[in-house]
Chain A
Amino acid sequence: MAAAVSHSHEHADPVAHAWHRVRINRLGLWLFLISDGALFAIFAASRFYIAGTAIDPHLNQLLGLAITSLLLLSSFSAYRAETAFAHGNTAHGRTMLLATILMGLLFVGGVAYEWSIAEFAASEVYGTAFFSMTGMHAFHVVTGLLFLAVIWARSGGGRYSQGPAVWPVTAVVIYWHFVDVVWVFFYPTLYLLK
């Protein structure tokens, strides 16, 4: 089994070595996500500490549902992209990456619009939670979009086709799903409580 002891030194087989690197990188990425997730969790906990479960009645609920659905859909297209690359289907993978980027941009636009129409100030406790949590999340969405754009720009010519070569796509897609997971918790925390 793959989880058995694996060693650092040059494997005679370059493919085995490439897989070894993927395993290390995967662990590093997950550790980073756990660490980053702790930051989000602290902000979410702070929301309850200072503002309880109250939400502002002026929130635009339909807009919230719309951007949530968009982000979920973009997670799905990111999954499609990764799966396509993993099977050497570069053309479909690139299309799906582009779709993901597009929906991500729409999400950021939705958040920006929501900020512009918000009827509460950042100095109120709910506003403090709302603006800091959505802002921090949007920052992660934007960085995710940058990574997606780099991957998309470099994905021509079958560079990320099959086997360990797909890892850069996988890494960015995992990061993108992570951003979605954060929103899975932030959406009810910020919009759906009473």
Chain B
Amino acid sequence: MSNGNHGGEAAQQRKGLMVFLALAVLTVVEYIVAVSLTSTPLLVTLLALAAGAKCWAITVYFMHVTRLWRGEEVH
């Protein structure tokens, strides 16, 4: 299981930090892309990709969506 309660508190907190850093990097990339690009279709595509990736990371790692079908009491 990728995000259960196993692995101890420190390990989980470390994983949370990594996810957060990735999200922060993506946000900065979005901002830089937006101020530097002039082509709207390309911009929309890139922003949609970035937002999709951020949404996926938050729902999977922060919101534990997989526990909906895996449960969490099984370690």
Contact = CB atoms under 8 A, between A and B. Distances in A.
Is A–B contact present in the complex under a CB 8 A cutoff?
yes
Interface of A: 1-3, 19, 22-23, 26-27, 30, 53, 61, 65, 68-69, 72-73, 75-76, 78-80, 83-84, 86-87, 89, 163-164, 170, 174, 177-178, 180-181, 184-185, 187-188, 191-194
B62 A75 contact: yes
Contacts of A178: 63
Interface of B: 5, 8-9, 12-13, 16-17, 19-20, 23-24, 27, 30-31, 33-35, 37-38, 40, 43-44, 47-48, 50-51, 54-55, 58-59, 62-65, 67-74
Given A26-B67, A68-B27, A75-B62, A193 B9 contact: no
A83 B59 CA distance: 15
Contacts of A72: 20, 23-24, 27
Contacts of A61: 31, 35
Contacts of A73: 20
Contacts of B38: 194
Given A68-B27, A84-B9, A76 B20 contact: yes
A194 B54 CA distance: 21
Nearest to B23: A72
A63 to B, nearest CB: 12
A27 B27 CA distance: 30
B62 A188 contact: no
A53 B12 CA distance: 39
Given A69-B24, A79-B20, A192-B47, 17 more contacts: A2-B73, A19-B73, A23-B71, A26-B68, A27-B68, A30-B65, A30-B68, A72-B24, A75-B62, A84-B13, A164-B73, A174-B64, A181-B55, A181-B59, A184-B55, A188-B30, A193-B47
B42 to A, nearest CB: 10
B16 A80 contact: yes
A83 B16 contact: yes
A2 B70 CA distance: 6
